[in-house]
Amino acid sequence: MQAETLKHRIAAGRGDICADLILKNARIINVFTNEIDTADIAISGGQIVGVGEYNGLNETDLHGSYVCPGLIDGHIHIESSMLCGPAFEQAVLPHGTTAVITDPHEISNVAGIDGLEFMMETTKELTLSVYFMLLSCVPATALDESGAVLDAEQLRPYYNNPRILGLAEMMNAYGTVRCDPEIMQKISDCTEAGKLVDGHAPLLSGKDLNAYIAAGVQSDHECSNINEAMEKLRHGQYIMIREGTAAKNMESLLPLFKEPYCERCMLVTDDRHPGDLLHNGHIDYIIRKAVRSGADPVVAIKMATLIPAQYFGLKSHGAIAPGYTADLIIVSDLNHFTVRQVYKNGVLVAEHGKTINPSSLVIDESRFRRVMNSFDMDEITLQDLELHENGENERVICINANELLTDEKIVPFRQHEGTAPGVDPEHQIIKLAVFERHHHSGHVGLGFLGNFNLKHGAVASSIAHDSHNLIVAGDNDADMMLAGNTIRKNKGGLAFVINGQVIAELALPVAGLMSTESAEVVAEKMQTLKDTLIENGITGDIGAFMTLAFVSLPVISKLRLNTYGIVDVEHQKIVPAVF
């Protein structure tokens, strides 16, 4: 900072000169003391220079409205919103989110370093501050088949970029506690650069948890119950309380919205669909839900501002005090927490649900060919869907409402009239397939899915964490084939097919993960898909595509299906679908 700029701020803070902007008669959320102060906020050069009684060159009377620091999402995958950077900004900025820390491992599993570069390039000019955590697990484990493999040497140069805050969720807890050499190198590079290592270790406990944290992993966003969260908290980890589209853990973790626990807990979304962002909100939605459940609103706000700022080392963010960046949101009351206005660096950037100067998307397709042409697979045939395993029993991957964890169910292997072998509509068992789409290998994993509730037809998606191969679920092979081929034709996306007819679809040509259209257009098409699926048996607590997207992720217990077959996650081995 130049001396003249510093002198100007000091003079404005002393009241010797007029500040650029005064927000008068504000009720200020003080996240340091958990109090509500009444004062003016003086802003100069994009920073808060004083809190008290001030006059300015420009003054806005807030008439007692509440002012909070800009909200920070400490862990999100922007790709899971299915929106590119500018459209994502337009969806979240009006809801008070002024900064996000994103892990671009979805697109990087598809396109490698090109995916990381694409995300950094298409977010660098946004009003929204977008920070990154580097990819720890591309692929998630050796027992997966992604579009790229990123090693420590490829990632190392990026630690010099100020937008890179650390190493993203270390999903391979199994490899970490067993000292996998590549993981050890990635963690060492990160810690030597003085940056953070985020965690991802559902249900890890005891001495393995000790070893995982001793390796340098400082947070976790996978806690699904309070006992798990408390064990990790007691061992020194920060807890990221997740409330996304598929995984909703906030209610189970409500005891953490109190002192002293809240001092090491933050609110995150992880994965959130565009309709939820537009209509329900982002971090503001979690605050509203927490308050309805009995949380102190000031504490909830603190967990969405100061705590993530402190954890990630964003020293001038997350609070309303002299010297802090003037990222501010205005709300009328704390119970409904409806965001009226958003200031970024002291400039009004969103008002009444709309961004004032929306950013536009520019893609250099010659530079990002791999991102824009990510499908390399043959057209699917009925023969690809034939089961070649024999036996009397089948192993069913059973999903659970509002959770990512799955259960195992063993049932007799039977043929029911009008369905594929092993499908049992009466007991909510359908067929599942995952097709490799990156390297033209022809690999196909086949299995069975329980509790998905689809009455008839097939759904398909190129969003299949984390390798993002093509996943298809249905009650008959013909519809599954058409659904999968529809995604292939669109270079990615979602589709729903019944009786040989494509009922609804959404093209996602950016790495098979994101649209180039606006949040409103994507949300409308997603809503059509959801409505038709609900009409055909999918209940609202499943979140058909978001839940299906995690069925192939081989690092969350208990069973998953990927291109190699059914994965026993705990033992990291392939087990038969029929035996």
Check residue 543 and give its pLDDT: 66
The per-residue pLDDT for 567 is: 95
Q: How far from 80 is each of 324, 355, 572, CA to CA, in Å?
A: 31, 21, 26
3-state secondary structure of 189: helix
Quote the Cα angle for 397-401-403, to 5°.
80
- The helix/strand/coil state of 409 is strand
- Answer yes or no: are the C-beta atoms of 246 and 207 closer than 8 Å: no
Domains along the chain? 3-64 (2.30.40.10), 70-316 (3.20.20.140), 373-575 (no CATH)
Burial of residue 177 (CB within 10 Å: 0-12, 13-18, 19+) is: buried
Residues of the chain with pLDDT under 50: none
Beta-bridged to residue 396, according to DSSP, are: 409, 448
| Amino acid 65: pLDDT | 97
State residue 247's pLDDT score.
81
Instruction: For 270-326, give the DSSP string.
Output: BS--HHHHHHT-SHHHHHHHHHHTT--HHHHHHHTTHHHHHHHT-TT-SS-STTSB-
**In this structure, are residues 106 and 117 in contact, taking their beta carbons and an 8 Å threshold?**
no
Q: How far apart are CA 178 and CA 211, in angstroms?
A: 9
pTM here?
0.92
Which whole-number Å values give the CA distances from 467 to 134, 137, 139, 399, in the listed order?
A: 16, 10, 6, 19
Looking at residue 556, what is its pLDDT? 85
Are the CB atoms for 117 and 547 separated by under 8 Å?
no
Q: Are 173 and 202 in contact (CB under 8 A)?
A: no
Which pLDDT belongs to residue 547? Answer: 82
Distance CA 193, CA 176 (A): 19
| Pairwise CA distance, residues 522 & 529, whole Å | 11
